Chains A and B, each alone.
Chain A
């Protein structure tokens, strides 16, 4: 039996080299989120809403400024250590062109989402969120909370935490950071989904579904990360790439399952078929501004992370696994487009449309070329802008009697006559979703399909054809909404478009104008995306 022997020391501890200016945008977002948690605890009930919204806007703007003025010039790996050979730095966080572009995208979209989310419609707190999440739906207590002026001001810190997670997610240089980023962005979204003011049961059901399925997908991602660690002996994407190019004959079998399981986790987040079943329920149940935020920013973050995993980590072995993703992309486009035809609820319709869009974006990812990266990034930003505006308008269309959102399609009949501005904007956004020329949707689809045809080989060409056909199907859906709004007699039950505050108007207007501007003169953003499309490995 050995007794207490001398403690064998490992090598002396070396701390990682951290560039705080590169991390500054994320730091700002997290610190502001902390401050908002304190506001939720310590500020008076009346002042909470204003403080939360103000802090969120300042935080997001500050992070954007720090990103564009500071972090841009500190590109490289950070929180890094030297690899075993000492030849290069391995970073948990990689700040490179795509990271900067996508983080800026997340921040801008989140900023617009906050503006819509903060809409009070004359109430005390944000109109989208329940006054008391713990009260039973429809109970006396809920009404009492409503009368007493309670608000769920926690929605804002939760959203900031999600934004921070998204920013980490797109910058993750290793699989563990990727996993933590995924959880940090997902958990607040699960909670936010369950906080809708109206149709509480639907909202709670959506939150539960999202949480359970999300937990499953996280487990898949973690399992895949474990297999990849077994394969490469490292969780760093760049080391996995080196291991792939060096070849690991005795562990080769781990690679493809590992990559695919990691991708399952990411494909779940973007809502690709067959991991899409949560999307319609969650989009419908969540508070509508949260749906907009989720649809735009989660998609952007998840595709950003997917780009990095695929292009930096697993591209060397793509011949062995990409066929599965090609099938998923094709299925996603077809199922998303076909299912959107049968929908009668606007939010569910937009959910299936977002599934179809996930397929289009996936087509761009599968180009395996820098043009694919820039096309995907451009697509994500333009789709995000259009989506936030679209859900923003859905949020404002209300049933006159109950004050709840009129999401059934039949209720939208004749909206064009009574509310020409809102209807025209929505119609224009639908055209952008459909990819009609002179909208940003057209440029984005052109880029994604062009990259697929140009660099994706035969499968890319097939996917592009499926994409064009699916787009044609979705055009029918979008045009049907427009016909409904303009050429149908108004329904019996009266529907109105409530007038929001100037902030929400500005946000929706800004998104719509950019959707037009990026359709007419996309060059600036396209150039930026092209310049920012090289991953640091």
Chain B
């Protein structure tokens, strides 16, 4: 069995790992599920380190927790954190069949691996203390797998190319500079001094609230088109009584 301190470490980390894994299964929100996996993976990494596999431990943290989880979170952000899966089956009975087949495969492989008694494998590194593992790793990467290692860079290039081709929208035409904008305004003679700024009020630095024209009407031009399209425009009238309300709130707050 393991030594005392290792057992302590294990019994601290294992429940946290399992909790993280359960969080993945039962969390309502996808982001919480992702954080659950991250927790489980970091703990696994620590366990690997404790078991004397420093390379695996570091890779577990750097690649899985760092890179893969990062990608998961990015994908969640891309599809929207609030979106949830449609659970309508397009093919009837698909889920039952795939569950049965999956369990069958697990059972088959489990029974196969369960029957094996593995002694020392011939390929095991000779020294496992200190940096022995990592040295053995380096020997493999720069020894017999050096060509494969170099070819791996082709995978990384493919990843970069793929991300660019599928996700990058190249700018078509030059982006107009401030100078060009100014020149255009002067040429057309419209809004030569620039568009009016949005309203600025006592409490709100309000880009979502139109400025008021001298006659008291709101200036449509002072508002970003994006906000107007999102329907996030505030009416300016509400801010007229703002100072009185603020005083009230401050006195109310100090007595709470």
Q: A524 contacts the other chain (Cβ, under 8 Å)?
A: no
Contacts known (A30-B154, A254-B116, A257-B109); A187 close to B159, Cβ less than 8 A: yes
Q: A23 contacts the other chain (Cβ, under 8 Å)?
A: yes
Q: B143 contacts the other chain (Cβ, under 8 Å)?
A: yes
Give A129 Cβ to nearest chain B Cβ, in Å. Answer: 9
Q: B147 contacts the other chain (Cβ, under 8 Å)?
A: yes
Question: B138 contacts which chain A residues (CB < 8 A)?
Answer: 13
Contact status B129-A5, CB under 8 Å? yes
B20-28, B118-126, B241-249 - the one binding chain A: B118-126
**How many interface contacts (CB-CB < 8 Å) are there between A and B?**
152
Which residues in window 122-165 of B have CB below 8 A to A? 122-123, 125-127, 129-132, 135-136, 138-139, 142-148, 151-152, 154-155, 157-159, 161-162, 164-165
Of all chain A residues, the one with the shortest Cβ separation from B138 is A13
Q: B254 contacts the other chain (Cβ, under 8 Å)?
A: no
Question: B169 contacts which chain A residues (CB < 8 A)?
Answer: 132, 134-135, 141
Contact status B126-A11, CB under 8 Å? yes
Contact status A10-B144, CB under 8 Å? no
Q: How large is the interface on B (under 10, 10 to 19, 20 to 34, 35 or more residues)?
A: 35 or more
Question: B123 contacts which chain A residues (CB < 8 A)?
Answer: 229, 233-234
Contact status A145-B170, CB under 8 Å? yes
Q: B173 contacts the other chain (Cβ, under 8 Å)?
A: yes
Q: A58 contacts the other chain (Cβ, under 8 Å)?
A: no
Question: B167 contacts which chain A residues (CB < 8 A)?
Answer: 134
Give A213 Cβ to nearest chain B Cβ, in Å. Answer: 13
Contact status B147-A23, CB under 8 Å? yes
Number of A residues with CB within 8 Å of any CB on chain B: 65
Q: B166 contacts the other chain (Cβ, under 8 Å)?
A: yes
Contacts from A to B (Cβ < 8 Å) = 5, 7-11, 13-16, 18, 23, 30, 33-34, 37, 40, 78-81, 84, 90, 92-93, 132-135, 141, 144-145, 148, 150, 152, 154, 157-158, 161, 164-165, 168, 176-177, 180-181, 183-184, 187-188, 190-191, 194-195, 223, 227, 229-230, 233-234, 250-251, 253-254, 257
Q: B112 contacts the other chain (Cβ, under 8 Å)?
A: yes
Q: B172 contacts the other chain (Cβ, under 8 Å)?
A: yes
Contact status B132-A10, CB under 8 Å? yes
Q: How far, in whole Å, are A188 and B161 apart by their CA atoms in the complex?
A: 9
Contact status A257-B165, CB under 8 Å? no
- Of B119, B130, B164, the residue contacting A5 (CB under 8 A) is B130
- Of B113, B143, B155, the residue contacting A187 (CB under 8 A) is B155
Give A237 Cβ to nearest chain B Cβ, in Å. Answer: 14
Question: B172 contacts which chain A residues (CB < 8 A)?
Answer: 141, 144-145, 148, 150
Question: A15 contacts which chain B residues (CB < 8 A)?
Answer: 142-143, 146
Which residues in window 75-98 of B have CB below 8 A to A? none
Contact status B146-A16, CB under 8 Å? yes
Contact status A158-B170, CB under 8 Å? no
Give B129 Cβ to nearest chain A Cβ, in Å. Answer: 5
Contact status A157-B135, CB under 8 Å? no
Q: Could you say which of B142, B148, B170 has the most chain A C-beta atoms within 10 Å of its C-beta?
A: B148
Question: B113 contacts which chain A residues (CB < 8 A)?
Answer: 227, 230, 254
30 of the cross-chain contacts (CB-CB < 8 Å) are: A5-B129, A8-B127, A10-B135, A11-B126, A14-B143, A15-B143, A15-B146, A79-B147, A80-B144, A81-B144, A92-B147, A134-B166, A134-B168, A157-B161, A158-B158, A176-B148, A183-B155, A184-B151, A184-B154, A187-B155, A187-B159, A187-B162, A190-B162, A195-B165, A227-B113, A229-B123, A230-B113, A233-B121, A233-B122, A254-B116
